[in-house]
Structure 1
Amino acid sequence: MRLAFFVNEVATEIDEYTTTRLARAASRRGHEVWYVGVGDVELSASDGQLVARAHAAQYGEDDTLESFMERIKECDAERIVMEDLDALFLRNDSIDDLQERPWASPLGAVFGQMLKARGVTVVNDPAGLTRATSKLYLEEYPEKIRPRSLVTRDPEAIERFAGEVGHCVVKPLYGAKGRNVFMISDDGEANLAQITEAVLQDGYAIVQEFVDGGEDGDARIFLLEGQLLERDGLPAAFRRVPTGNDPRANISKGGRSVPLEIGAAERGIIEAMSEQLVADGMYFVGIDVIGDKVVEINAESPGGMQSVERLYEIDVCPTVIEALEHRAGR
């Protein structure tokens, strides 16, 4: 299989990323693997082909993640014809580019749609990603598995919602890694005006009713083709626990990961989501769960495989690549 991982920038990739682990698993299985950055693509003037300046990802015996990534960055870029690929794995994070490189933000989905139309297997499905990148996507799922929420740019509407539901969480509709995520006790919150102003700087706000148990963190659960991702009977899932006085459990904000036992509540959520995830082409996603509610769907470059590997001493990335082989007919 000829497989490319589409990332924000090759030079800024980090060895511990889930993307690195997926690329290593694919190369270990004998596939021809490439890294392509958002700014590395060109539409040929002569024949209309999509070409790219790509970096080869070749696994060497005894490679660590660090040495594997170093070799990718150090090798000279080569010209590849992207429509000759068997599969393209979209692993760029458009939210990261939204602030500093707005021109780059939509291009994963754009190039992905072009390549899908030319016969390349693209995951996650680029058409589905245009919806799933927004936290509005969660609102398409059954009410029973998601908290009551409001999406608005009206500060007064946020105040009214807080007055109605009490304890809630406000965050940008397009956001990631815990940026501008705030807890509100009720409409009497002393800093409500400042909180609202900060969140609305990023566009629309989504305000969610606080789910009981949220103070103890949330669960990150990986799903592959609408089902719980597992290997050797162990789940690709963990609980993220906040540290100190910061209520955010994001690993990027200092949260720590602990093992998670998948119970009836989690399986019920997966069952309720599975059919639509598959229909929308959401091949590989991470969902964030508190109790019996999903608080976020991470469809664009979901991460956290380092926690799974550390907690359970398993590498589930080969399972993801094996499924992609079947999908691409390879």
Structure 2
Amino acid sequence: MKIIADSAIPFLRGVLEPFAEVEYLPGTAISAADVRNADALVIRTRTRCDEKLLADSRVKLIATATIGFDHIDTAWCAAHGIEVTTAAGCNARGVLQWVGAALVHLSRTQGWQPAERTLGIVGVGHVGSLVKAYAEGWGFRVVCCDPPREERERCGFRTLEEVAREADILTFHTPLDASTRHMADSRLFGLMKPGAILINSSRGEVVDGEALLRSGLGWALDVWEHEPHLDPALLENALLATPHIAGYSEQGKANATAMSVASLARRFGLPLEGWYPPQAAPARRRPISWQELCRTIGGAYDIASESRSLKERPGDFESMRDHYAYRREYF
């Protein structure tokens, strides 16, 4: 059995080797020749899995250690008997804490308190649900939009237009697909309050960057169109700018790797059910007040410093991601 794995996936080396031949490669360098004799791939978003990569291979499973799967042609894979698994929800608390850090920074630099702001949440899944619960506890008025959930559950979520009109801060937590690509466009920006802030930590293509530049809004971005080639003006004028690392917590990465290993174990009968990286500390899941968040988040994650680093060295975007010092979740 042979497995091709992205060399930047943490905690993985040595785990699969007793049961398979494992070759580690940079995600962007994985080629059709590399995967031709592979039974499984363990990847991140930097590997595009489509007919071009997979057509002549014997791959039966693609385990992506990411929450999204827009880098995988799932229809082609399904038609050719290739199973695809994701790590949905693995880094939800890491993203929550990135959002918390962004909100604290904005409140300090702009001089407001949560009770004075309406937070709009677009996408109320693994991440958005956490952001909603914690933001309400912090004192924000929260309005939510999630059309698929509203259609299924009739849970009282607002339309995207209603949320855009009411929000002082609008944060996106959606997957990327045909319905969400450029969801945040010039039309939507025209509905928002003057001086409102857009936060995106989902996928870069959810937001039309060129339209955002013309919008008159403020923005804090972790994800960007055309990564790793960032629009210089979008970067320079961002209130906060980080290199697609919102979910890069130690526990989030451990969860993602563990979920990928579990997929391999189930598909190929490997004795690795329940495996979890022993070097990863358990997360402390607990409520946290706004006052405690303001007091402690800087010691856990200096988002302003990270933003300055990216603005100073945008060409290091990929290196910053690949060599990131994972944050530790503390709530």
Common fold: TM-score over 0.5? no
TM-score normalized with structure 2 length:
0.33
**Whose relative contact order is higher, 1 or 2, with alpha carbons under 8 Å and at least 6 apart?**
1
TM-score normalized with structure 1 length:
0.33
